[in-house]
Chain A
């Protein structure tokens, strides 16, 4: 698989180029989209498209511009420049038509805590003008789909975080949308709930022929769920392809993580000289991350070099390239390095509520 991008470090204004031999139905098209807040550019000339019935991931650290992108596409904030089309409707010229074909799950859990599961769904179905008979049938199906049937009369405040997220997913589907936008749907969930949400989304996609656009900063989530992934950093699209192709685009197919005791200052340079090594990164506390095209060969050489230099190896692991490495490759930093940025007031949760 080839990368769809004119990719590489310091990439700017990257354009996703489809294979001309393979005509695709475009569910979402974004062309040279820009969002500025005064002098600050939150999204900078981003272009991509999403195929129909595809799960498309926007991957990036907090503050990278993912949520701004999704908010522009879902008519929540005005676009400064460029064009976004959802199911052929221009977001700026025909926002109502866009709103009718999309389902949106915002980052925060916004279902009413005092209302029951069913009431929450009912009210949103009414906001979408779903006729009564279709509404009852649809809600019944959705409750089954998100496994909340026996909690239908429970007040939302009594549900766990995972159940509330499932309710939000059902809420976004009450009007049978064609596109589904999810902004960090698993943030704050425990690992078990996260996996449950992933399975649910995969089921929903296959049953309802949905096109899904999801933002996340979890590599494993993007890797497992998405057909294609766009990496966003500092408001720019820096890479776009399917997960396997993205990993293959990084020089070196294996990652060796090793921690040493009393490594000399030039140890990073020494490791770089080992055969098949493409990059070495010192991550502090004696920990080195080595990308290599030959995992076993480099490991042997690394151990020999350490013994020869009289350096103790405290720990050592070899694994395949991950999306984390892809991210480091394209942006020069790791996801976890980014601190959360808050540009507006965020209401704290009610006491006793998660």
Chain B
């Protein structure tokens, strides 16, 4: 035990004396949280929408008023009036407009005659997100126009009433569980994997191997020290990330305890996985080459940035065994849903089993000699 603690002491002293590791481990996830959270979190505003009124009637005027209302309130788009529909379509094509609405001649007459009145929406569907937003906004707008002036006493159509369990979750908050997991992963990658191989190449391990330290003590010492660093990084980024994203659940005692357990288990599981990957590697260039791939392979299928349900079958297969998925699920349950300890039990169980299995495979692979 003393020898395990000696290795941990060495690593901790180095860690605190050279805080670059902690900084590097946290900067990338924090930058990602801030940039992606703000870039993807907002709603479309001030899109340029062309409006060609070829009718000029009173019903066309209602549409123009509705457009002005959108510009003054929700600001999804700003109408730009055109006389020529061809010019408007050309401007959508060359990017001067994000979309164009054409009110055809005789539109008002068709409305009054109740004879299939139609308006056209031209969208640039090379940008799916923008075109979907404009389509949704125009659907809402036409639904509002279609409402009868006098409502019937009994509504005959089924209405969908949406009940949201949690307050509105911005994308930045949605990203936070992934950012905490990513920070822990970055820490075990740099402070565990890379440092392990660098120390081996510099001969530091040679110094250990000539002492009476046992193989198990050495494996446990190396793993404990790197997991400890990752836990510290996880705790710091949980607090900073929660403050940045405006997540207050952190300050609930039971959530904080659950969060601590999740951080510890995530750090241990990711660290033992990293140890297994590098246990026989000697060349410091190898991890630098594989870590980019590993990052993509573990982070993106985890549901941290996009729902797992949207993935193809093979990507869902990766997500099902990816420890990131369980970590992200656990953090999400605690931070965003404030669901109690019971909701993270499967995540805790999986991460624990994952850590035990990976360490059990890695330990026999670890060489007590050079």
Contact = CB atoms under 8 A, between A and B. Distances in A.
Nearest to A126: B6
B370 A347 contact: no
B203 interface: yes
Given A110-B202, A114-B17, A76 B10 contact: no
A110 B283 CA distance: 17
A51 interface: no
Interface residues of B, number: 29
B94 interface: no
A119 interface: yes
B13 A76 contact: no
Given A74-B210, A110-B203, A114-B17, A123 B10 contact: yes
Interface in B256-309: 282-284
A347 B201 contact: yes
Interface stretch (A25-33, A100-108, A212-220, A250-258): A100-108
Q: Which of B198, B206, B211 has the most CB of A within 10 A?
A: B211
Contact of A114 (B6, B13, B203): B13
Contacts of B3: 126-127, 129
Interface string B177-213: 0000000000000000000001001111011111111
A77 B206 CA distance: 10
B365 to A, nearest CB: 16
A71 interface: yes
Nearest to B282: A345
Interface in A110-152: 110, 112, 114-115, 119, 123-124, 126-129
B114 interface: no
Given A115-B14, A127-B3, A76 B201 contact: no
Contacts of B18: 114
A127 B213 contact: yes
Contacts of B282: 344-345
Contact of A112 (B14, B211, B213, B284): B14
Given A346-B201, A347-B202, A104 B6 contact: no
Contacts of A106: 203, 206-207, 210
Interface in A319-354: 344-347
A265 B10 CA distance: 65
Given A104-B210, A106-B207, A127-B208, A77 B198 contact: no
A74 B206 CA distance: 10
A119 B369 contact: no
A110 B17 CA distance: 18
A115 B6 contact: no
Interface string A33-73: 00000000000000000000000000000000000000100
B9 interface: yes
Contacts of B203: 106-108, 110, 347
B347 to A, nearest CB: 36
Interface string B202-227: 11101111111100000000000000
Given A108-B202, A110-B204, A114-B18, A126 B212 contact: no
B283 A123 contact: no
Contacts of B206: 76, 106, 108, 110
A345 B284 contact: yes
Interface in B7-21: 7, 9-10, 13-14, 17-18
Nearest to B218: A127
A99 interface: yes
A293 interface: no
Contacts of A345: 201, 282-284
Interface of B: 2-3, 5-7, 9-10, 13-14, 17-18, 198, 201-204, 206-213, 282-284, 369-370
Given A110-B202, A345-B282, 20 more contacts: A71-B370, A75-B209, A76-B210, A76-B370, A99-B210, A99-B211, A106-B203, A107-B203, A108-B202, A110-B204, A110-B207, A112-B10, A112-B13, A114-B17, A115-B10, A115-B13, A124-B211, A126-B2, A128-B211, A347-B198
11 contacts: A75-B209, A75-B210, A75-B369, A76-B210, A77-B369, A99-B211, A110-B203, A115-B13, A127-B212, A129-B2, A347-B198
